[in-house]
A = this chain, B = another copy of it.
Amino acid sequence: MAPSAAVQRRARARTTHLTAMAGCPTHRVLDRMGDRWVSLILKELAAGPRRHGELARSVAGATQKMLTQTLRVLQRDGLVARTATDSVPPSVHYRLTPLGESLLPVLATVTRWAERHIDDIDAARAAYDRTP
């Protein structure tokens, strides 16, 4: 059967909102910060420039692929700068750009809220799971 008019209308509305959302700055930024390794990498780089290998060790949860991939994205967004000396062996440093540093206070705000309220969240979960 052909889709009803209502279904079509809703599908159009969804598409409209999806494209609108793709441009929403808040959503774009949250999407980045929510990426699995971003907050860890930013936190590590906040303490100073790091070599690829150093990051690989301190952000040990990430596979090499994800580390590089995440760094590329951050670099593309202008949050992280990459400096390579093409010697042998190669030596590559990553550091926060001023833009990246300006994000740190935001991250700190989230961290502060998280640490203050994580217990509330856990309590809420426990309560929710206890009563089916």
Contact = CB atoms under 8 A, between A and B. Distances in A.
A76 interface: yes
A67 to B, nearest CB: 11
**How many copies altogether?**
2
Nearest to A32: B34
Interface in A30-60: 30-31, 33-35, 39-40, 59-60
Interface residues of A, number: 51
A13 to B, nearest CB: 5
Interface of A: 10, 13-14, 16-18, 20-21, 25-31, 33-35, 39-40, 59-63, 75-79, 99, 102-103, 106-107, 109-111, 113-115, 117-118, 120-121, 123-125, 127-129
